[in-house]
Amino acid sequence: MIKDIDHILIARGAISDRVRSLGEEITKDLKDVGEHEIALVAVMTGSLIFVADLMRHLPMKIQIQLMTSSSYIGKSTKSNNDPMLGKLPDVKGMHVLLVDDILDSGRTLTKIRSELEALQPKSIQSCVLLRKKLDSAMNVPCEYAGFDIEDEFVVGYGLDYDGYYRNLPDIAVICP
């Protein structure tokens, strides 16, 4: 057991039900898109578990590509101004489903979407597991959001604090 967990915000059962329904919704929306044309781009490392679960609810032929983004410097719970992006995936001519863990200030998704736009994909849609109830997050285009949560720092199910807690099966709030 991990002592620093204050409380569980979203339990594993609720996460798994919602991930399944997101997958079904996305599958329905993409049913007319041809084979070889869908690229799921997952933003590492936070979306690690989410994307692994979500992709198994997407039965069509899709390519999985990973890219990295980091917004935190050391032990901080405030994302920094300009997220650092790793190598961009090859999405020219593809319908892109961009998958990230959480939408907070919106800077990460905004920056990635604009950099991917420049690579001439056919379309881009975004999917996040969590979205904070902040104007900054709500005003960023995002077609699929799993849960809208209050503005508090969460860990687990892939999300970390200083590299820890990603392995927790539930989404939790750590002790202040």
Residues forming the active site: 104
Q: Is 108 near ligand 5GP (CB under 6 A)?
A: yes
Whether 81 and 110 have beta carbons less than 8 Å apart is answered as no
Tokens linked to 107: 């800077």
Closest CA to 60 of 90, 43, 37: 37
Q: x/- binding map, residues 115-134, to ligand 5GP, per CB under 6 A? A: --------------------
Tokens linked to 173: 């709030």
Supply the minimum distance, in Å, between the C-beta of residue 28 and ligand 5GP. 26
Q: Out of 37, 100, 126, 170, which residue is the one contacting ligand 5GP (CB under 6 A)?
A: 100
| Burial status of residue 32 (CB atoms within 10 A of its CB: 0-12, 13-18, 19 or more) | exposed
- Residues that bind ligand 5GP (rule: CB under 6 A) add up to a total of 19
The residue (of 39 and 126) whose beta carbon lies closer to ligand 5GP is 126
Q: Is 101 near ligand 5GP (CB under 6 A)?
A: yes
Name which of ligand 5GP, Mg ion, none residue 159 binds, using a CB cut-off of 5 to 8 Å depending on partner kind. ligand 5GP
Find the binding residues for ligand 5GP in span 25-54 (CB under 6 A).
46
Q: Out of 105, 112, 127, 172, which residue is the one contacting ligand 5GP (CB under 6 A)?
A: 105
Where along the sequence are the contacts to Mg ion (CB under 5 A)?
46
Whether 168 and 10 have beta carbons less than 8 Å apart is answered as no
Return the CA Rg of the chain: 16
Say how far apart CA 135 and CA 57 lie, in whole Å: 30
Q: What is the 3-state secondary structure (H, E, C) of 13-67?
A: HHHHHHHHHHHHHHHHHCCCCCCCCEEEEEEECCCHHHHHHHHCCCCCCCEEEEE
Name which of ligand 5GP, Mg ion, none residue 107 binds, using a CB cut-off of 5 to 8 Å depending on partner kind. ligand 5GP
Name which of Mg ion, ligand 5GP, none residue 103 binds, using a CB cut-off of 5 to 8 Å depending on partner kind. ligand 5GP
Q: Provide the residue count of the chain.
A: 176
The residues of the shown chain that bind ligand 5GP, judged by CB under 6 A, are 46, 71, 79, 83, 100-108, 153-155, 159-161
